[in-house]
Amino acid sequence: MGIVEKIKEVEEEMARTQKNKATEYHLGLLKAKLARYRAQLLEPAAKSGGGGTGFDVQKAGDARVALIGFPSVGKSTLLNKLTHTASEAAAYEFTTLTAIPGVIEYKGARIQLLDLPGIVEGASQGRGRGRQVVSTAKTADLILIILDATKSDEQRRLLEIELDTVGIRLNKQRPDVVFKRKTTGGITFTATVKLTKTDEKTIRTILAGYKLHNCDVMIREDITTDEFIDVLIGTRKYIPCVYVYNKVDAISLEQVDKLARTPRTVVISAEMDLNLEYLVDRIWEHLNMVKVYTKKRGVHPDLDDPICMRKGSTIEHVCDGVHRSLAPNFKYALVWGKSSKFNPHAQKVGLNHLVQDEDVVSIFTK
């Protein structure tokens, strides 16, 4: 039996099993099994067709944004409008057959935008080029889910399922769980908060299902059973996403207004150039980018050429952004701005100092 059939079997068993206290552990086991099969399905070595590798497009710029959607929702039209790239756009489905990169230049940052083939329901199971598309999506810092405003909203849920199936967790944080494998000593289980959505017994059942008999588990957040399995599997990607409804030129103002009020949603018309600047602003915001200006001694900072990094970056990242030789020869840095303890005055800091948006940094070497 192939993995796809095995998955189907487990899914059917889960559907048959009534959800109650008595079946909770059994369902937990099935969930773990399902997660394992799905992980296998995406391994490059899997025999069941396709493999799990994405399109081979080199990462470029300061961040990567992937366009995901069903065929003919306007992904290529959008790429062409936002970047100086020509990706074929046409009225028939599956116009785009591979990944086409373009670059958005914004606030001194270079954001790579990836146009991808349309995916179909079941993409994650290997239908169409779906597996390659969703694997490529895993490499993105932000996913734009492109939706056709003239079509049913079911498309959004279906796309979310496809991405979830390949291990992409949209708009979620990695669960706050410490998990350590050991060679002896059995299982140590600690929860620092009250667990209302899962319990110790379920978790121990799952650990047994994975043949994990020696490990430390410390749960610091009220997680679900599924979230615990995510931690065990370990290869989940936590990626923010923005829902983009295209073709709003073709629906009523009332409908546009309703869509626009949904969280994390932007309404646009790629063809009519509606709201595209606003979309780029939101892309920037959700990428959580910070830009830092560097300053040489005795001169003003260079405001035209900031270094752009993801939020959570340090002085070490700033050094690497200037030149590879800088960090190894680093002595100290002076930082002005929000991250300085003495703002508006400078603070002397080391490589581990976290920078904030619009900081000015001077680096001193040995």
Ligand X SMILES: Nc1nc2c(ncn2[C@@H]2O[C@H](COP(=O)(O)OP(=O)(O)OP(=O)(O)O)[C@@H](O)[C@H]2O)c(=O)[nH]1
Please choose, out of 6-14, 17-25, 78-86, 91-99, the segment that lies near K ion by the rule CB under 5 A: 91-99
Helices (H), 102-240: 130-137, 154-165, 200-209, 225-233
Please choose, out of 18-26, 64-72, 168-176, 289-297, the segment that lies near K ion by the rule CB under 5 A: 64-72
**Minimum CB distance to ligand X smaller for 247 or for 291:** 247
Site for Mg ion in 49-88 (CB under 5 A): 75-76
Kindly tell me which residue out of 40, 48, 85, 95 binds K ion, with binding defined by CB under 5 A: 95
The token pair that represents 14 in the structure block: 């889960």
- Non-local CB neighbours of 298 within 8 Å, separated by 6+ positions: none
For 163-184, b where at least 16 C-beta lie within 10 A, e where not — what string? bebbbbbbeeeebebebeeeee
- Non-local CB neighbours of 231 within 8 Å, separated by 6+ positions: 174, 175, 177, 179
Three-state SS for 242? strand
Smallest gap from residue 139 Cβ to ligand X (A): 19
Rounded Cα distance between 160 and 273, Å, is 27
Site for ligand X in 224-263 (CB under 6 A): 246-247, 249-250
Q: What's the CA dihedral at 173, 174, 178, 181 to 10 degrees?
A: 180
Minimal CB distance to K ion: which residue? 95
Kindly tell me which residue out of 28, 65, 72, 191 binds K ion, with binding defined by CB under 5 A: 72
The token pair that represents 296 in the structure block: 């040489």
Q: Do 159 and 69 touch, CB atoms closer than 8 A?
A: yes
Smallest gap from residue 69 Cβ to ligand X (A): 6
Tell me: does residue 96 bind Mg ion (CB under 5 A): yes
- DSSP letter, residue 262: S
**Minimum CB distance to ligand X smaller for 279 or for 319:** 279
Tell me: does residue 95 bind Mg ion (CB under 5 A): yes
Smallest gap from residue 89 Cβ to Mg ion (A): 6
Chain contacts with K ion (rule: CB under 5 A): 72, 95
Chain contacts with Mg ion (rule: CB under 5 A): 75-76, 95-96
Chain contacts with ligand X (rule: CB under 6 A): 69, 71-77, 89-91, 93-96, 117-118, 246-247, 249-250, 269-272
